[in-house]
Amino acid sequence: MPTRDIRSLFFSKKEHSNTTFGFQNFSSSGPRELRTNPALLIQPSFVMYQIEPDIRRATTLPGAFYNSPEGFASYREQIFARSWQMVTHAEELVKLPFDAMPFQFMDKFIEEPLLLLRDADNTLRCMSNVCTHRGKILVEHPGKLERGIVCGYHGRRFLLNGNFAAMPETEGMENFPCADDNLTQIPVRQWRQFVFTSLAPAFPFEDWVADMERKIGFMPVEHFRFDAARSRDYLVKANWALYCDNYLEGFHIPFVHKGLATSLDWGAYRTELFNWSNVQVGISKGGEDVFDLPAGHEDYGQVIAGYYFWLFPNIMFNFYPWGLSLNIVRPLQLDLTKVSFRAYVWDASKLGRGAGADVDLVEREDEAVVEQVQIGTRSRFYRHGRFSPKQERGVHHFHQLVTRLIS
């Protein structure tokens, strides 16, 4: 369905006319009246233009963003379908020419059947995994495709570049084959060992990863060793964006993460904003367990315990002196989110120390607070919040990017 149609389901003209900057305008009746009149106690509908760019005046996304089915449909189509998503473990399964791996773009959220493969020239390709005849899934299991792609229903064949090749019993067909008979090609990009695809990218991949590469390019990330024992999935009973909101500020560290607060210098904690990503830079309190930054690095001389990169909208690359903790946040339902932690070890002797000592405990502390926020944002008394200009620049950045894609 075209995105415009989806939006028209819930963005009515009347609602637009009642809004000023971003959200519903209560100036005519006044927010105080609404708060004191039980008959009118209801959250404002989810209507968006933009978040105020000046953080000193800006208000956060409204509670309805995290709680309305319309919001869920909106960010599924307007944000996630147009974002870059990681195809996990693709490097292992699609390593040699003719290797192929079927997958869904985002499991249980955007179930678009796709096929990742290496062609005879070793080029990585991604395409629709749906037969252009009557719609059967083409490749059902990972494996080799030395005979090309062959549909198991009526024998339609495709080349590894997705072009139609042949089909039995086509005598008498007119205007056949045509472009519609080829498999739609999907953009595929690689950063180090990680492979990403996008159904319809709203921003260039290179722009998305450039600042992370500039900052941590000195690390041999492609040689980090995946550690299954340190990797696990968490189910969080909250909206995906609340999880990201929480991730994007260190404001809560002294209140929520007492252990982490002993190793990070909260006063020196900072956020740097980029086009489609940002990074929180954790400065070590004691100057120990820090990166050995090369001379000439833009942060050379600083005692950095962790680089927390967030790539819009839902991927976090947390670098520590021991390696990388990768977090992928996947919406399942309006108030249910799967967060996958994947550990890649660089220097095992530094595990268990510093800011990245116990990412599991920090995660569970975050979950507890985020689940409480989910309940709170459902309240008819909660409308929206405000940003601390010093502490919540990352959250403000996120909310601006959200509204930029949804508006």
Indicate which of ligand FES, Fe ion, none lies near residue 127 (CB less than 5 to 8 Å, by partner kind). Answer: none
366 binds, among Fe ion, ligand FES, none (CB under 5 to 8 A by kind): Fe ion
* Of the residues 153, 176, 300, 381, which one makes contact with ligand FES according to CB under 6 A: 153
Q: What is the CA radius of gyration of the chain?
A: 24
Range in contact with Fe ion (rule: CB under 5 A) among 10-18, 50-58, 264-272, 360-368: 360-368
Residues sharing a CB contact under 8 Å with residue 333, sequence separation 6 or more, in sequence order: 72
Q: Which residue has the tokens 């252990």?
A: 259
**288-317: which residues touch ligand FES (CB under 6 A)?**
none
Q: Name the nearest CA neighbour of 357 among 277, 282, 289.
A: 289
Cα–Cα distance measured from residue 34 to residue 51, given in angstroms and rounded to the nearest whole number? 23
Q: Please report which helix (H) or strand (E) contains residue 316, including its range.
A: strand 315-320
Query: Quick check: helix, strand or coil at residue 208?
Result: helix
Nearer of residues 93 and 256 to Fe ion, judged by Cβ: 256
Please report how close the Cβ of residue 246 comes to Fe ion at its closest, in angstroms.
6
Nearest to 260 by CA among 392, 342, 341, 360: 360
Tokens standing for residue 404 = 């930029």
Instruction: Please tell me the distance from the alpha carbon of residue 308 to that of residue 288, in angstroms, as a whole number.
Output: 18
157 within 8 A of 228, measured Cβ to Cβ: no
Is residue 131 near ligand FES by the rule CB under 6 A?
yes
Residue 136 as a binder of ligand FES (CB under 6 A): the answer is yes
Among 16, 57, 108, 134, binds ligand FES (CB under 6 A): 134
Instruction: Please give the Cα distance from 407 to 405 (Å, whole number).
Output: 6
- Range in contact with Fe ion (rule: CB under 5 A) among 7-15, 202-210, 266-274, 362-370: 362-370
Which member of 156, 215, 330, 393 binds ligand FES (CB under 6 A)?
156
- Binding segment toward Fe ion, per CB under 5 A, in 142-150, 267-275, 364-372, 377-385: 364-372
Tell how strand 164-166 and strand 185-186 pair up. unpaired
Instruction: Specify the stretch interacting with ligand FES by CB under 6 A; choose among 22-30, 133-141, 226-234, 338-346.
Output: 133-141
Restricting to residues 336-395, name those near ligand FES by CB under 6 A. none
Mask of contacts with Fe ion, 260-299, x by CB under 5 A?
Answer: ----------------------------------------
The distance from CA 234 to its chain's CA centroid, rounded to whole angstroms, is 15
> For ligand FES, which is the closer residue by CB, 155 or 287?
155
- Asked whether position 245 contacts Fe ion by CB under 5 A, the answer is no
- 392 binding Fe ion? (CB under 5 A): no
| 99, 211, 289, 366: residue in contact with Fe ion (rule CB under 5 A) | 366
With CB cut-offs between 5 and 8 Å by kind, which of ligand FES, Fe ion, none does residue 343 bind?
none
Alpha-helix runs per DSSP H in 173-268: 205-216, 240-247, 253-256, 258-261
Q: Which does 153 bind (CB under 5 to 8 A by kind): Fe ion, ligand FES, none?
A: ligand FES
What is the 3-class SS of 347-390, one letter each residue?
A: CHHHCCCHHHCCHHHHHHHHHHHHHHHHHHHCCCCCCCCECCCC
**What's the min distance (Å) between Cβ of 115 and ligand FES?**
14
Q: Could you tell me which residues come within 8 angstroms of residue 230 by beta carbon, excluding any fewer than 6 positions away?
A: 341, 343, 345
- Segment contacting ligand FES by CB under 6 A, of 81-89, 153-161, 275-283, 319-327: 153-161
Answer for the pair 264, 399: CB distance below 8 angstroms, yes or no: no
CB of 136 to ligand FES, least distance (A): 4
| Length of the chain as a residue count | 407
Neighbours of 45 (CB within 10 A): 18
Q: Select the binding partner of residue 157 from Fe ion, ligand FES, none (C-beta < 5 to 8 A, by kind).
A: none
Residue numbers at the binding site for ligand FES (CB under 6 A) = 131, 133-134, 136, 151, 153-156
Residue numbers at the binding site for Fe ion (CB under 5 A) = 366
